[in-house]
Amino acid sequence: MKRFAVVVGTSFLSLAAWAGDLPRDTLVRVEGSGIEPGWFEGKIVITGEGCTMVKLARATRDKYTMLALTSVAILQKKEGGAWKELSVQTLKAHEPKGCVDENAAD
């Protein structure tokens, strides 16, 4: 039983690290690829699989309400009263393989 707790604890720590510099509920704004141009504000959501998603404050023209990192071209997080740009490539590098494999859902 102790071994199970260690594995679960380690898995939980890994899930937190996958989001990198983006804890759950961090306020962000993104420009997406495959959606209309412009900034979309939202917050970070971490799925049960550990994937980082952006839950948009408003739907896109095509009714998308969440974007995976694979659909994000530019991401900025709110820091104080300013926006700080983060490297989407670096964030993707910390995601589980299934989260950034664009063909995983096919």
pLDDT digits (tens, 9 = 90+) for 18-71: 455 689 999 999 999 989 999 999 999 999 999 999 999 999 999 999 999 999
Name which of 48, 47, 44 is nearest 88 in CA terms: 44
Domain positions in the chain: 2-100
Q: Which is nearest to 76 in space by CA: 35, 22, 4, 37? A: 22
pLDDT (0 to 100) of residue 102? 64
Please give the model's pTM, rounded to 2 decimal places. 0.75
Residue 81 has pLDDT above 60, yes or no: yes
How many Å apart are CA 57 and CA 7, to the nearest integer?
35
